[in-house]
Structure 1
Amino acid sequence: MQHKIEAIMNQIEEEVIANRRHLHQYPELSNQEKETSHYIQEKLTEYGISFETGYATHGVLGIIKGKKPGKTVALRADIDALPIQELNNHDFASTHPNVMHACGHDAHTAMLLGAGCILQQMQEELHGTILLVFQPAEEASPVGGAQVMMDDGVFDTYTPDVIFGQHVWPSMPAGTVGVHDREVMGASDRFKVVLEGKGGHASMPHQTNDAVIATGHLITALQTIVSRNLDPMEASVVTISMLEAGSVPNIIPREVTIQGSIRTYDAEIREKLKERFFQITNQIAAAFGVKAQIEYVEGYPATINTPKWAQLARNSVQKVLGEEATPAQQPALAGEDFGRFLQKYPGAFIWLGTQIEDKDNQAPLHDANFKLNERALPNGTKLLAQLAIDALQKLNEE
């Protein structure tokens, strides 16, 4: 089967790259992926793959039924873009102002379409069913599209025994893949705090309850949540990324707003961080005589692989790309909606190396200059197909 995957891949490599470039030119934001969804449906029809639509509005489920009975494997790709003005000048740059595929979802979608094309041509050899899950709104944290697709019944008829996803990873060279046995990416909670005091003239601070001073102490104190409440070996981070205060230099403002995120891997630690966040914020506010209004939103859960399926993924990578293709990688605290699928179904999420040749100028994910190495697209396409076949074989053996 591996040789057949390779042979078909050689035939469709240009098609996969063309699909990625088309999607990159015409990106759509979360929950607005109407044309992207139509393009996916057109390609599935062209490849002879049956599909269902309407999940999370623009989600699509491709269904490849093998000619022999067996279990069910799901492969997932996210399809939405980000509100970023692209700064690249290649000939397939985004044509939509302030919208860009800066997280590689165009590549994810193109590779899953390619894998579907391969697997559809191998129906005679397949023992079971393969689901192609094209998920909208991955970037729309904290709601996202994964849970909405499941709530809409995407797996009611065909329930996966295992699910896999992959993400382009610009810090890893093309030809390598990051596979983690357990923790891959973090839970991502968000907060907004408004500290309301009493404003006044900058020369008469004694007549005010200064929310700016209180905020300064709060920002510093919030950093102790991790540094003084957790074991140093337990990875977590509290980040304040937005601050709004005042309008002129000679007036102490009445209120200050800060926003940020809290990220971790462990569910118990996540709850502990949230508890300490509320305690510290309310106590600092009380100490400085201001009021605290807190909005705290729990976002995506941590993305935690099932060790058995992570090992199968590692084996599949080595079949496709060689024994040295799975270097050890530390997990990341970035959030990923795929974690919701893994809460309900066993599976694994992997990182596909897509570093450009000029690695010193490799922009990170979510950057207006983000690029990926298109030489990695055939790797990821073949890998998805191999993963599905290997997983079906293991499930059916069990």
Structure 2
Amino acid sequence: MLHDNTLARLSDFEETHAEFTAIRRHLHQHPELSHEEAETARFVAEKLEGWGFDVTRGVGGHGVVGRLTVGTGKKSIGIRADMDALPITEETGLAHASTVPGVMHACGHDGHTTMLLAAADYLARTRRFSGTLTVIFQPAEEASGKSGAQRMIADGLFQRFPCDAVFGLHNHPGLEEGRVMVRPGPIMAASDTARITITGKGGHASRPHLAVDPVYVACMLVVALQSVVSRSIDPTETAVVTVGAIHAGEAANVIPETATMALSIRSFNAGVRDRLQARITALATSVAEGHGASVEIDYGRGTPVVVNSEAETAFLKSVVEDLLGPDKVSLCPMIPGSEDFAYMLEERPGSFLRLGNGVASAFLHNPRYDFNDAAIPVGAAIWARLAERFLTE
């Protein structure tokens, strides 16, 4: 292993902190939605090319992959950052607020991109490793349906740019800046959805006995669904079933023909995921039929569980502890949010960590959220030191 005095340190990123803060704020001012990250991708690719990376554009859409080989080492490490923004109107009032109406970086992907750029710049200048560094700038993490990770993988990401392991991170509001959370095994949830359409028999509100009221059936189903987690899932497991929307009817004096419901379903292991789908389907069918209605269930399997491999997580933890000190690293609780980095971890071993964005930070996906620029040197130093230690002869 390289000696500690040759590995990246936080102090190595003090000189470039102002430069990369300006880059982060530029990206924040010019957000782009999922699958529309053309200018962000161009900006990233040009930076990497200027630092000497072999750059491939257009991987799985607007994905950018940079490769830098140094020495004779045979190993390759992949480090991923996401680039897309959200359809949210910013309310921060900051000088660097979004200039795009209705679009903002409300999840910190501008910060994630900047930290990996800062690490790439440092590693290109110092070149204290032996092997291949692969930096992956991914579009469309926020996309429903075919996400950026899926599209990059389908476009041959790991065949065209082989990686022995892949790593990623997400900022974490509520956690002090300079602190990191890691967790081996499942860390973030699978995210599934269900759209349930209940068809009854419409009629006059004054004569409910002549109709089959889908609104009533939907309400009974909402209550029944509360038993799925509490009575069908092992209490030692974690799961969430949320009815996020119900739509039916327009007028007070009309019993509508149909009612639709939208569900969000979260889980942390494959068996629980299957059990949730089976119970939700069975309850929707039985409740509807028991009241004389019919039901159509569109159940969609979304992002899988983010599962960190044991060895790579232990290695990452040791890197962060060496860099920041053991007191700055803690065990991450399982997070019911989802992250499409899960698809990359299905293809390669690796780990995903959470990086503090400050105790006072607004929540993710909030119009008052902003990435904490104090975290830029921390994330950049983690990635640089990780690459240096991973890529040793």
Q: If the length of structure 1 is used for normalisation, what is the TM-score?
A: 0.95
Structure 2 counterparts to residues 287-326 of structure 1, below 5 A? 287-326=290-329
For the residue of structure 1 that corresponds to 2:160, the secondary structure is: coil
Give aligned-pair identity as a percent: 38
For the 8 Å contact 2:196–2:261, the answer to whether it is kept is yes
1:273 is the counterpart of 2:272 = no
Equivalent residue, structure 1, for 2:335? 332
Distance in 1, Cα, partners of 2:150 & 2:5: 36
Equivalent residue, structure 2, for 1:69? 73
For the 8 Å contact 2:191–2:264, the answer to whether it is kept is yes
Distance in 1, Cα, partners of 2:192 & 2:146: 11
Q: Encode CA deviations 1:178-215: one digit per residue, 9 max, x unaligned.
A: 10011110000111111111122221111110000000
Equivalent residue, structure 1, for 2:45? 41
For the residue of structure 2 that corresponds to 1:203, the secondary structure is: coil
Number of equivalenced pairs: 389
Distance in 2, Cα, partners of 1:291 & 1:300: 29
1:107 is the counterpart of 2:106 = no
Equivalent residue, structure 2, for 1:371? 370
Distance in 2, Cα, partners of 1:157 & 1:297: 30
For the 8 Å contact 1:142–1:298, the answer to whether it is kept is no
Q: Encode CA deviations 1:76-116: one digit per residue, 9 max, x unaligned.
A: 00111111111111011111111111111110000111111
For the residue of structure 1 that corresponds to 2:329, the secondary structure is: coil
For the residue of structure 1 that corresponds to 2:319, the secondary structure is: helix
Structure 2 counterparts to residues 355-394 of structure 1, below 5 A? 355=358, 359=360, 362-393=361-392
Question: Pick from 328, 345, 348: which aligns with 1:345?
Answer: 348
For the 8 Å contact 1:355–1:372, the answer to whether it is kept is no
1:120 is the counterpart of 2:120 = no
For the 8 Å contact 2:171–2:357, the answer to whether it is kept is yes
Distance in 1, Cα, partners of 2:287 & 2:389: 55
AA matched with 1:184: I
Equivalent residue, structure 1, for 2:155? 152
Give the C-alpha shift of residue 12 in structure 1: 1.5
Give the C-alpha shift of residue 365 in structure 1: 0.6
For the residue of structure 1 that corresponds to 2:20, the secondary structure is: helix
Distance in 1, Cα, partners of 2:143 & 2:282: 28
For the 8 Å contact 1:178–1:329, the answer to whether it is kept is yes
Equivalent residue, structure 2, for 1:197? 200
Distance in 2, Cα, partners of 1:270 & 1:142: 18
Give the C-alpha shift of residue 372 in structure 1: 3.0
1:83 is the counterpart of 2:87 = yes
1:163 is the counterpart of 2:162 = no
Structure 2 counterparts to residues 215-234 of structure 1, below 5 A? 215-234=218-237
For the 8 Å contact 2:105–2:370, the answer to whether it is kept is no
Structure 1's 283 and 210: CA in aligned 2 closer, same or farther, altered over 3 A? same
AA matched with 1:91: A
Question: Pick from 20, 29, 32: which aligns with 1:28?
Answer: 32
Distance in 2, Cα, partners of 1:154 & 1:304: 19
Distance in 1, Cα, partners of 2:57 & 2:354: 27
Distance in 2, Cα, partners of 1:324 & 1:334: 26
Q: Which moved more, 1:366-375 or 1:255-264?
A: 366-375
Distance in 1, Cα, partners of 2:345 & 2:178: 26
Distance in 2, Cα, partners of 1:226 & 1:385: 42
Give the C-alpha shift of residue 391 in structure 1: 2.1
Structure 1: runs of 5 or more not aligned: none
For the 8 Å contact 1:239–1:260, the answer to whether it is kept is yes
AA matched with 1:244: H
Distance in 1, Cα, partners of 2:372 & 2:65: 27
Superposition RMSD in Å: 1.4
**Structure 1 segments of 4+ aligned residues over 4 angstroms from their partners:** 1-4
Q: If the length of structure 2 is used for normalisation, what is the TM-score?
A: 0.96
For the residue of structure 2 that corresponds to 1:155, the secondary structure is: helix
Give the C-alpha shift of residue 158 in structure 1: 2.8
Give the C-alpha shift of residue 3 in structure 1: 4.7
For the 8 Å contact 1:143–1:299, the answer to whether it is kept is no
Structure 2: runs of 5 or more not aligned: none
Give the C-alpha shift of residue 255 in structure 1: 1.0
AA matched with 1:339: A
For the 8 Å contact 1:23–1:36, the answer to whether it is kept is yes
Give the C-alpha shift of residue 176 in structure 1: 0.4
Give the C-alpha shift of residue 321 in structure 1: 1.3
Distance in 1, Cα, partners of 2:158 & 2:120: 18
Distance in 2, Cα, partners of 1:280 & 1:204: 27
Distance in 2, Cα, partners of 1:240 & 1:76: 33
Distance in 2, Cα, partners of 1:157 & 1:365: 33
For the 8 Å contact 2:33–2:84, the answer to whether it is kept is yes
